[in-house]
C-alpha cells in the first residue's frame, strides 16, 4: 500500500497538492469560494498523520464556528477511513481551544478549572453592579457603550493595567476604571466573558513562558480555516501559540470576509506573507462546487466591490440551470413559493438535507418554518435559536452553574428566589453583603448555615434554598449521572411542579422545553468523552463540559443537527458550507443589503461579500427571491428589489413567478388589484399609487390624528385596502412616514 498522498493525491489538483505537501514553514492559500481550501486543510491533516507519522496532539486546527469545526472533523474522519485512529487531532474554534487551556492552567491567573463563562446578559448585569459601585449611572453612559470600549481594548490585547496610560478622554478614563473593577469582580465570581477567554490565554502565554513553551512544543502543526475573519487578538494569540518552526497553514478568501462588524481584520490575510516572510503562497482558481451560471452570477456580484484583490475563478462544470429569480407579492407568498419548490424538488428525488434557505436576518425564518410545518417538510433552523436563552432553561442551567461554581453570582441571583420563595431584593442584597464579608463562595456559604442570620418572611424561603444547595453541592461530589442529578434537582426545587400547577398554555410549553433540556443532557451524556481536565468527580467533569458546550454555543450553531432535513440559517452561518439547492430569500433593499450598511461604503461592500458567500453555497440550483411587501411588527414595508439582483447577468438567470391565484392559500391581505403585467418585476419599486382604492368604507380619513403602540402619535395621510385589511399611511411625529394596518392604531 502506498502513502496517503500516493493513494489520494489524484483527488487534488496540482496547486492543492503543492499546498498539502508543503508541510514545513508558513503556507497561505488565498482563493475564491469552492476552490477546495478546506479540502486542502483536511488532506493536509491526513497527510501529516499517515505519511509523516505526526502524533495527533501535535496538530491544531481552528475555524470560526462550532458547526464549521464539526464539519471539518467529519471530513477528516471520512478521509482517515475506518482504519484510522480512534481519536482525531484538535479541530476546534479559537474560543474552545482557549477555554480548554484555561481550564488546565487558569490557576496561574487565579481561576479554578470550574470558572463560568458569562454571556452578554450576565456581562451587562455585572457591569451594572460595577457602575453602581463607582457611582456612575447608566443614564450617564450606557452599559453597552462601556462594554463596547472595553471590548475594543481587549480585542487589541490590552489588559486593564495597560489601558490607563492610553486614555484620551474622560469617557475613556471612566471606561478604564470600570475595566479594572469589572476584571476584579469577574475574578471574584470566577467568571470569564467571551473576550476574556482569548485575552486571558494571551496573557497566560505572555506571563508564563513555561505554559507557552509547553503548547509551542506540543503544537508542531497549526492549520486555520476562514482566516479572513480572524480578529487582531486571535492573530496575536496565534503568534504566541506558534513555535519557531512556524509550520502554519492558513486558508481564506478576502471576498468572504463578513465579520468586519465584529472586529475581524482582513489585513491578517492580505498581509500574511509580509509578516511571515518566505511563506509559500498558493492561489487556487478552479471552482469545484458550482455550475457555470452560479459562478458567473456570483463573480459578477463580487466584482462590483472596489476594495478587493482580483481573482480568477473558473469551472469545468457545465453552465447548468439558470438561476431562478422570483418576485412575490408579499412575505407569505415568498415562503409559500419557496416551500412549494422544495416540495417539488423533493418529489423529484432531491434529499431534504441538500436544500437550504438562507437569509440576512434570523427573524425571517419564522415564515418559512410555518410553511414547512403546513406542508410537513422536515426542517431545522441553525442559529438564532434561542433555546438556551429561554427563561426556564436559564433558570435550571443556573442551578447547575452554581453547583459547579458556587461563586457564580449571576447564577445565585437567578436561583435564590426561583421558583418564588418569598425572598425579596433587600434580602438578596443582604445575603450578598454577608457572603462577601465571609469571603466564602456564596453558594458554599449559604449551604453551611445552622442558624439563618436573616429574620422575617424571607427566612423560610432562604432555608429551603440552603437545603437545596447543601444537598446539591454534596451530590456533585458523589454521583455519576448528570441526568439523574437534574431530575432530582427539578423535584427538590419543585420547578416543574409549580409550572404544572399553573396549567396555562405558556407553562405547558415551558415544561416541554425542560423535557427537551433533559434529552439534550441525556444525549450529551451518552457521547461524553473524558476531557483533559480530570480534576473532580465524574459528575463534576461532566457538568463542566456540558456547561462549557452550552456557553460556547454561538448564534450560528444549531441545537441538534440531524440529517434528512431542510436547513434554514443566516447567510453568516452558511459560510464554508455547500448545498445542492439554495434559496436566498428576502433580496430587498434595506433587508439585504441591510439598511444599517447604508452609512458607509465599507459596510455596503461587506454586504456584497455576504451575498457572494450566499450564492456560492449552491452547487446546482440557486433561487433568489424577494417579497414586494413585507410585514414587520404589524407594519407593512413596501420593498424595493435588492441592488444585488440588478447586478446578476441576464444571461445567467430566468425569471419565474408564482401566479398569485394558483397558490390555493387564503391569505387575508392579498391585494385585490393584481399587478399589471407591464410592470417590471425587479427594476421598479412597488408602485403604491396605482393600487389606491376608491374612497369607500374606510374607518380612518386623511388628516385624522391616531396613535400606534410602537410608533406613537401620527397623522393619517392615506387609507387603502389590502385584501380585507385596511392599510394606512401615517406620518408619525417621531418615526416619519410608515404604512401600518389600521387594526393596530387608535384614534386620538
Instruction: Please tell me the distance from the alpha carbon of residue 450 to that of residue 445, in angstroms, as a whole number.
Output: 11
Contacts with ligand ATP, 501-540, as mask; x by CB under 6 A: ----------------------------------------
CB-nearer residue toward ligand ATP: 39 or 629: 39
Place of cell 480555516: 225
- Say which entry of Mg ion, ligand ATP, none residue 605 contacts (CB below 5 to 8 A, set by partner kind): none
- If one asks whether residue 576 binds Mg ion (CB under 5 A), the answer comes out as yes
| Spatial contact of 411 and 127, defined as CB atoms under 8 Å apart | no
Q: Choose among ligand ATP, Mg ion, none what residue 514 binds, the Cβ cut-off being 5 to 8 Å by kind.
A: none
Strand 705-708 with 712-722, pairing: antiparallel
Q: How far apart are CA 609 and CA 603, in angstroms?
A: 10
Q: Is 226 a catalytic residue?
A: yes
For residue 186, the surrounding DSSP H or E stretch is helix 170-188
| 256 in catalytic set | yes
Alpha helix ranges (H) inside 219-266: 232-241
Task: Name which of 37 and 630 has its Cβ closer to ligand ATP.
Answer: 37
Q: Which does 570 bind (CB under 5 to 8 A by kind): Mg ion, ligand ATP, none?
A: none
679 flagged as catalytic: no
Q: How far is CA 633 from CA 193, 711, 712, in A?
A: 33, 11, 14
Tell the residue number behind the cell numbers 411625529, with chain if given. 733
Among candidate residues 15, 44, 510, 617, the one labeled active-site is 617
**Interface with ligand ATP: number of residues (CB under 6 A):** 18
Restricting to residues 537-596, name those near ligand ATP by CB under 6 A: 576, 578
Q: Residue 256 and residue 96: Cα distance in Å, rounded?
A: 23
For residue 227, the minimal CB distance to Mg ion (Å) is 11
In the set 15, 37, 67, 394, which binds ligand ATP (CB under 6 A)? 37
C-alpha cell at 587: 433580496
User: Is residue 64 within 8 Å of residue 225, measured between CB atoms?
Assistant: yes
Is the omega angle on the peptide bond into residue 452 within 30 degrees of 0, that is, cis? no
Report the nearest approach of Mg ion to the CB of residue 225 (Å): 6
**Grid cell in block for residue 151:** 471590548
Report if residue 38 touches Mg ion, rule: CB under 5 A. Answer: yes
Q: Are strands 618-632 and 635-638 parallel, antiparallel or unpaired?
A: antiparallel
Of residues 216 and 305, the one with the C-beta less far from ligand ATP? 305
The answer to whether the beta carbons of residues 613 and 358 sit under 8 Å apart is no
Sort strands 280-282 and 635-638 into parallel, antiparallel or unpaired.
unpaired
Q: Which of 33, 191, 364, 740 is the binder for ligand ATP (CB under 6 A)?
A: 33
Residue 41 CB, nearest approach to Mg ion (Å): 8
Is 271 noted as a catalytic residue in this protein?
Answer: no
Applying CB under 6 A, the span of 27-35, 143-151, 234-242, 309-317 interacting with ligand ATP comes to 27-35
Q: Which stretch binds ligand ATP (CB under 6 A): 33-41, 132-140, 323-331, 434-442?
A: 33-41
Q: Choosing among Mg ion, ligand ATP, none, which partner's interface includes residue 493 (Cβ < 5 to 8 Å by kind)? A: none
- In the complex, minimum distance from the CB of residue 74 to Mg ion, in angstroms, rounded to a whole number: 13
User: What are the helix (H) ranges across 81-142?
Assistant: 94-105, 120-134
CA neighbor of 486 nearest in space, from 546, 529, 533: 546
For residue 252, the minimal CB distance to Mg ion (Å) is: 9
- Indicate the length of the chain as a whole number: 748
Instruction: State which of positions 595-634 bind ligand ATP (CB under 6 A).
Output: 616
Question: Closest CB to ligand ATP among 259 and 465?
Answer: 259
Whole-angstrom distance, CA of residue 413 vs CA of residue 429: 10
Instruction: Output the smallest distance, CB 16 to ligand ATP, in A.
Output: 6
Site stretch for ligand ATP (CB under 6 A), options 28-36, 303-311, 581-589, 686-694? 28-36
Contact between 32 and Mg ion by CB under 5 A: the answer reads no
Asked if 289 touches ligand ATP (CB under 6 A), the answer is yes
- Quick one: which H or E segment has residue 282? strand 280-282
Considering beta carbons, is residue 224 or 653 the nearer one to Mg ion?
224
Among 8, 9, 13, 555, binds ligand ATP (CB under 6 A): 13
* Catalytically annotated residue among 71, 226, 392, 588: 226
User: Taking contact as CB under 6 A, which single stretch among the options 29-37, 53-61, 445-453, 541-549 is the one that binds ligand ATP?
Assistant: 29-37
Question: Beta-carbon neighbour count of residue 551 at 10 Å?
Answer: 21
In this structure, are residues 398 and 495 in contact, taking their beta carbons and an 8 Å threshold? no
Q: Terminal CA-to-CA distance of the chain, rounded, Å?
A: 85
Helix/strand/coil for 292: helix
Complex with Mg ion: residue 191 or 317, whichever CB lies closer: 317
Report d(CA 703, CA 688) in Å as an integer. 19
By CB under 6 A, name the binding residues for ligand ATP. Answer: 11-13, 16, 33-39, 253, 256, 288-289, 576, 578, 616
Residues assigned a catalytic role: 37-38, 225-226, 256, 617
By CB under 5 A, name the binding residues for Mg ion. Answer: 37-38, 576
Amino acid at each position: 500500500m502506498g502513502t496517503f498522498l500516493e493513494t489520494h493525491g489524484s483527488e487534488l489538483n496540482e496547486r492543492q497538492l503543492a499546498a498539502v505537501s508543503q508541510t514545513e514553514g508558513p503556507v497561505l492559500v488565498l482563493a475564491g469560494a469552492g476552490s477546495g481550501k478546506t479540502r486542502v486543510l483536511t488532506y493536509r491533516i491526513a497527510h501529516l498523520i499517515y505519511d509523516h507519522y505526526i502524533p495527533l496532539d501535535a496538530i491544531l486546527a481552528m475555524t470560526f464556528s462550532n458547526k464549521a469545526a464539526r464539519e471539518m472533523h467529519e471530513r477528516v474522519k471520512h478521509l482517515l477511513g475506518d482504519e484510522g485512529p480512534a481519536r482525531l487531532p484538535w479541530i476546534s474554534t479559537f474560543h474552545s481551544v482557549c477555554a480548554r487551556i484555561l481550564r488546565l492552567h487558569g490557576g496561574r491567573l487565579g481561576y479554578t478549572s470550574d470558572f463560568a463563562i458569562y454571556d452578554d446578559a450576565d456581562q451587562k448585569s455585572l457591569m451594572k453592579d460595577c457602575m453602581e459601585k463607582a457611582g456612575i449611572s447608566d443614564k450617564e453612559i450606557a452599559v453597552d457603550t462601556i462594554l463596547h470600549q472595553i471590548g475594543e481594548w481587549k480585542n487589541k490585547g490590552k489588559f486593564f493595567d495597560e489601558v490607563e496610560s492610553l486614555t484620551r478622554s474622560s469617557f475613556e478614563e471612566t471606561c478604564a476604571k470600570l475595566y479594572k473593577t469589572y476584571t476584579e469582580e469577574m475574578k471574584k465570581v470566577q467568571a470569564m466573558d467571551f473576550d476574556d477567554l482569548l485575552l486571558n490565554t494571551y496573557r497566560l502565554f505572555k506571563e508564563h513562558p513555561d505554559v507557552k513553551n509547553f503548547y509551542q512544543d506540543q503544537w508542531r502543526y497549526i492549520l486555520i480555516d476562514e482566516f479572513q475573519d480572524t480578529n487582531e487578538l486571535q492573530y496575536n494569540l496565534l503568534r504566541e501559540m506558534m513555535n519557531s518552526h512556524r509550520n502554519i497553514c492558513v486558508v481564506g478568501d478576502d471576498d468572504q470576509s463578513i465579520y468586519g462588524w465584529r472586529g475581524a481584520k482582513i489585513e491578517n490575510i492580505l498581509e500574511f506573507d509580509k509578516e511571515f516572510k518566505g511563506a509559500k503562497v498558493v492561489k487556487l482558481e478552479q471552482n469545484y462546487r458550482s455550475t457555470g451560471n452560479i459562478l458567473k452570477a456570483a463573480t459578477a456580484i463580487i466584482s462590483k466591490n472596489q476594495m478587493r484583490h482580483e481573482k480568477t475563478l473558473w469551472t469545468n462544470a457545465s453552465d447548468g440551470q439558470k438561476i431562478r429569480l422570483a418576485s412575490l407579492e408579499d412575505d407569505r407568498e415568498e415562503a409559500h413559493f419557496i416551500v412549494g419548490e422544495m416540495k417539488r424538488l423533493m418529489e423529484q428525488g432531491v434529499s431534504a438535507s441538500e436544500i437550504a434557505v438562507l437569509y440576512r436576518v434570523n427573524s425571517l425564518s419564522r415564515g418559512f418554518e410555518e410553511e414547512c410545518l403546513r406542508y410537513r417538510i422536515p426542517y431545522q433552523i441553525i442559529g438564532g435559536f434561542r433555546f438556551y436563552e429561554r427563561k426556564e432553561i436559564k433558570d435550571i442551567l443556573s442551578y447547575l452553574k452554581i453547583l459547579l461554581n458556587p461563586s457564580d453570582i449571576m447564577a445565585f441571583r437567578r436561583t435564590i428566589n426561583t421558583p418564588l420563595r418569598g425572598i425579596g431584593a433587600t434580602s438578596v442584597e443582604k445575603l450578598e453583603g454577608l457572603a462577601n464579608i465571609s469571603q466564602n463562595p456564596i453558594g458554599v456559604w449559604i449551604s453551611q448555615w445552622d442558624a439563618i442570620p436573616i429574620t422575617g418572611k424571607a427566612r423560610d424561603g432562604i432555608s429551603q434554598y440552603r437545603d437545596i444547595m447543601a444537598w446539591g453541592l454534596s451530590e456533585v461530589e458523589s454521583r455519576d449521572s448528570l441526568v439523574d442529578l437534574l431530575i432530582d434537582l427539578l423535584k427538590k426545587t419543585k420547578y416543574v411542579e409549580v409550572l404544572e400547577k399553573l396549567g396555562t398554555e405558556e407553562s405547558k410549553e415551558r415544561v416541554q422545553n425542560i423535557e427537551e433540556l433533559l434529552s439534550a443532557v441525556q444525549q450529551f451524556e451518552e457521547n461524553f468523552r473524558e476531557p483533559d481536565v480530570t480534576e473532580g468527580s465524574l459528575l463534576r467533569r461532566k457538568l463542566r463540559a456540558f456547561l462549557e458546550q452550552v456557553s460556547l454555543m454561538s448564534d450560528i450553531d444549531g441545537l441538534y443537527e440531524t440529517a434528512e432535513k431542510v436547513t434554514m440559517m443566516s447567510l453568516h452561518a452558511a459560510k464554508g458550507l455547500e448545498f445542492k439547492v439554495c434559496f436566498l430569500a428576502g433580496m430587498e433593499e434595506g433587508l439585504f443589503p441591510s439598511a444599517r450598511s447604508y452609512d458607509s461604503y465599507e459596510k455596503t461592500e461587506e454586504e456584497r461579500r455576504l451575498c457572494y458567500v450566499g450564492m456560492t453555497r449552491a452547487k446546482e440550483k440557486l433561487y433568489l427571491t424577494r417579497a414586494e411587501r413585507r410585514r414587520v411588527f404589524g407594519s407593512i414595508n413596501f420593498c424595493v428589489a435588492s441592488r444585488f439582483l440588478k447586478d446578476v447577468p441576464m444571461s445567467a438567470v430566468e425569471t419565474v413567478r408564482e401566479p398569485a391565484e394558483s397558490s390555493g392559500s387564503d391569505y387575508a391581505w392579498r391585494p385585490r388589484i393584481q399587478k399589471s403585467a407591464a410592470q417590471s418585476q425587479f427594476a421598479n419599486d412597488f408602485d403604491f399609487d396605482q393600487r389606491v382604492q376608491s374612497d369607500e368604507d374606510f374607518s380612518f380619513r386623511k388628516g385624522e390624528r391616531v396613535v400606534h403602540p410602537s410608533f406613537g402619535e401620527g397623522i393619517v395621510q392615506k387609507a387603502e385596502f389590502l385584501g380585507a385589511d385596511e392599510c394606512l399611511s401615517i406620518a408619525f411625529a417621531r418615526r416619519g412616514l410608515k404604512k401600518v394596518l389600521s387594526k393596530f392604531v387608535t384614534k386620538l
